[in-house]
Amino acid sequence: MNKKIQGDEKVPRLYVFKSNKHIYAQLINDINKKILASSSSISHKIKTSNKSTTCETARIVGNDIAIQSSKKGIHKIIFDRGKKPYHGQVKALAESAREAGLIF
């Protein structure tokens, strides 16, 4: 039985979704059902800086979501990778977010 991960306004949930082509990250407040910040490999500023969909793109997305969260005063989060294994692009995004200052 899986336990549902939930975040609130003080400690939001960082949800990571990876498709075959792109990677997406969202900071979610589950209590108010609001998305506080989001970043993805299809956003304009990330798409122009990197053309490939490798771990380097995931690192850029992780760094971007960490910068957005620190601007909102959020430093502690709950990491939710869905059903994807903690490997490859998901791991690169998480490590980049940690290096940029997020605590989880």
Structural domain spans, the chain: 13-99
Contact predicate 57/23, CB 8 Å: yes
Q: How high is the mean pLDDT of the chain?
A: 90
CA-derived radius of gyration, the chain: 13
Rounded mean pLDDT, 45-60? 79
CA dihedral 88, 94, 98, 100 (to 10 degrees): 90
Class of 13-99 per CATH?
alpha beta
Q: Whole-angstrom Cα distance, residue 98 to residue 31?
A: 24
Please check the confidence at residue 7 and state whether its pLDDT lies above 70.
yes
Residue count of the chain, please give it.
Answer: 104
On whether the pTM is more than 0.75, the answer is yes
The residue ranking higher by pLDDT, 9 or 17, is 17
DSSP 12: -
pLDDT of res. 14: 96
